[in-house]
């Protein structure tokens, strides 16, 4: 599930870059700002992932929860749905 989330974020950032690249009327300065912002977002997402993985490694309870949450997704109504 984390892989799908990461792929979704990456796809969204790529779409922003593609749209920016295709926009001929956009000023260079604005394009540079968008490219820099996307780069910053990628770095932050990567750092968050590293921090989460480190927390999971250091805390056995979180590791157990992480494995469980990868297999099952608790729904708002209290039921559990199996995730592949």
What are the residue ranges spanned by the domains of the chain? Answer: 27-69
Contacts 24+ apart (CB under 8 A), 67-75: 69/1, 70/1, 70/2, 73/1
Tokens linked to 65 = 């929860």
Q: How do residues 51-77 score in pLDDT, each as one tens digit?
A: 988 888 888 776 666 665 555 555 555
| Nearest Cα residue to 20 out of 36, 40, 6 | 36
| Nearest Cα residue to 47 out of 6, 1, 4 | 6
- pLDDT for the residue numbered 59: 81
Q: How do residues 10-37 score in pLDDT, each as one tens digit?
A: 999 999 999 999 998 899 999 999 999 9
């Amino acid at each position: 599930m984390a892989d799908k989330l990461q792929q979704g974020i990456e796809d969204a950032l790529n779409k922003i870059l593609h749209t920016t690249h295709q926009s001929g009327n956009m000023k260079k300065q604005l394009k540079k700002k968008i490219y820099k912002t996307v780069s910053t977002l990628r770095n932050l997402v990567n750092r968050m992932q590293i921090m989460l993985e480190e927390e999971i490694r250091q805390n056995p309870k979180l590791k157990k929860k992480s494995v469980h949450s990868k297999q099952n997704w608790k729904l708002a109504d209290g039921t559990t749905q199996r995730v592949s």
